A and B are shown apart, each in its own frame.
Chain A
């Protein structure tokens, strides 16, 4: 069982919808990440939060809006997505610095 929990597991949304992806970890990690993974491709970094502050935004379109309400929770708010945004969205956490990433099982998003 993964120690990083993501909900929902699957999400289908229209291009005009607003939805949110949620991620929770209870390992005491102070760095949390959002990655996007297309089929047969490596995970691509989107955002990094360190001590609940956004530290890295990899030039992600504004239709993706991250939020870190506290050290255990990470959200990704979605609005006006495009079909090409369909992918597996992975959340990960780690201790700050050069530490292993612990991934959640991901949310498989389909934009219709």
Chain B
């Protein structure tokens, strides 16, 4: 089942913060986050496993709350290079990432 992402789009000025949410109606084992720039391949950002752990990648971090069946991606002090579409991907319970289902994406635009 496809996870739900919000917001659908967000526009920031350089240096501002943003939060992207990903939720599922089914129990989650893990959440993947990817960023795709226009005309390019999706690029892996991080994986979160159940346990509520928070991971970081540069100034991008994420949390995973398996009880609430949701994950949030935090972008702090945004840079122009952060622009792109962010997808969360959720794997079915059991640990396999083979059937990773992506949300519809959040288009992030960072302006000077």
Across-interface contacts of A40 in B (CB, < 8 A): 105
Across-interface contacts of B96 in A (CB, < 8 A): 97-98
Chain A window 40-81, contacts with chain B (Cβ cutoff 8 Å), 1 for yes, 0 for no: 111111001010000110000000000000000000000000
B-side interface residues, number (CB < 8 Å): 26
How many Cβ-Cβ contacts under 8 Å join chain A to chain B?
Answer: 59
Of the four ranges (under 10, 10 to 19, 20 to 34, 35 or more), the interface on chain A belongs to 20 to 34
Closest CB in chain B relative to A83 CB, distance in Å: 22
**Within the assembled complex, what's the spacing in Å between the Cα atoms of A100 and B30?**
11
Chain B residues with a Cβ under 8 A of chain A? 2, 29-30, 32, 34, 40-44, 47, 49, 87, 89, 91, 95-105
**Within the assembled complex, what's the spacing in Å between the Cα atoms of A97 and B95?**
7
Across-interface contacts of B91 in A (CB, < 8 A): 98
Across-interface contacts of B47 in A (CB, < 8 A): 98-100
